[in-house]
Amino acid sequence: MSAPVRIHMDVDPGHDDALALFLAAGHPAVEVVSVSAVAGNQSLAKTAANALRVARFAGLRVPVAAGMDRPLVREAVHAPEIHGESGLDGPALPDPEPGLGLDPRHGVDLLTEAFSRPGEVTLVATGPLTNVAMALLRDPSLVQRIPRIVLMGGSVGLGNVTPAAEFNIFFDAEAARIVFRSGIPIVMMGLDVTHQALATPEAVEALRAAGRVGRVAAELLDFFGASYQRVFGFPAPPVHDACTVAYLIEPSLFTLRPMAVEVECLGPLTYGRTVCDVHGVTGRPPNAEVAMQLDAPAFWRLMVEAIARLG
Ligand code: BDR
Ligand code: CA
């Protein structure tokens, strides 16, 4: 078997961020080297505490640090209607063991340090892109050392937080613009594909039967599913963020299309929209591989197998 893909995860847990962390912890094809939390689904204090609890519950003993507590320019608008007041409502995760608390470093420093040597680590981002943009602003040479960013954000089609925009990009569009214009190769898991990663009742029950972590994953999806039913009328919740890690484990699950993607930062109705040049009409070179199709049954087999390995 080839060496695992080493990843730094930048997250805002978040139910689907938790599923992404569980998948990464459980699958031998990836190795998490460090985790930074960012404000997004909830305040930084909450997302950092959640990231730490989720990582430790999944057996990850790597550094977890708190990063940026607000977007670069705008005020924060969190998502309690989807993820609850804690940002991770539903099952109670245990407190981390003594000595395994948050790393004292700033999350942006931890992220930067993960890329001290070129090409060794892949960046996975499943929250707003504030930490990533701040790292690039502080140290522009990072562009040469981050070989690839696999991110959850944006949409070729409709948005979810506004008709035009997806939550992670809308939360900090100025940061997203910096990242999409950075020149770093980007794989974009937008709503077009993440809405195919639906946790059907069969998938949730398979997780519930898959051990200690699987049971908690299912309980998270019970809460998340009720939110998606109430807010969007979805029959089953999409586990957006887990698509990033699944792609690194098994790229053939996804169909990607190269595109030029720009982030709208001005329009009062369109702030945070990822403007995706599907037909190449702008003549701009592609800056992202955008995922369009998912093999959902194979995705869920991967999820359940990986999470079952965590016991
Ligand atoms: C994204 O927003 C958050 O609510 C989820 O964690 C995911 O990263 C989906 O739009
Ligand atoms: Ca997220």
Average confidence (pLDDT) per 10 residues, the chain, 311 residues: 93 98 98 98 98 98 98 96 96 93 98 94 98 98 97 98 98 98 98 98 98 98 98 97 98 98 97 98 98 98 98 91
Q: What's the CA gap between 211 and 309, in Å, rounded? A: 8
Q: What is the DSSP letter of 238?
A: B
pLDDT score at 20:
98
Does the C-beta of 16 come closer than 6 Å to ligand 1?
A: yes
Token pair of 150, please?
């696999």
Q: Is 166 in the pocket of ligand 1 (CB under 6 A)?
A: yes
Q: How many helices (H) and strands (E) does the chain have?
A: 13, 10
**244 touches ligand 1 (CB under 6 Å):** no
pTM of the prediction?
Answer: 0.98
- Of all ligands present, the nearest one to the C-alpha of 16 is 1
User: Closest residue (by CA) to atom 10 of ligand 1?
Assistant: 167
pLDDT at 31: 98
pLDDT at position 79 is: 94
- Ligand 1 pocket member 50 (CB < 6 A): no
What are the boundaries of each domain within the chain?
A: 5-310
> What pLDDT shows up at residue 94?
94
Ligand 1 within 6 A of CB of 264:
no
Atom index in ligand 1 nearest the CA of residue 160 equals 10
Centre of ligand 1 to C-alpha 87, Å, is 11
**Residue 240 is among the residues annotated as catalytic for this protein:** yes
Of 52, 44, 47, nearest in space to 101 by CA? 52
Quote the crossing angle between the two packed helices 242-249 and 296-309, to the nearest 10°. 90
**How would CATH label the architecture of 5-310?**
Alpha-Beta Complex (3.90)
Q: Nearest 5°: phi and psi at 11?
A: -140, 165
> Tokens in use for 225?
């599913």
In the reported structure, the alpha carbon of residue 293 is separated from the centroid of ligand 2 by a whole-number distance in angstroms of: 20
Q: What is the 308 CA–ligand 1 centroid distance (Å)?
A: 24
Q: Ligand 1 centroid vs 153 CA: distance in angstroms? A: 7
Among 106, 195, 240, 279, the active-site one is 240
Q: How far is it, in rounded angstroms, from Cα 77 to Cα 262?
A: 22
Closest ligand 1 atom to 82 CA: 4
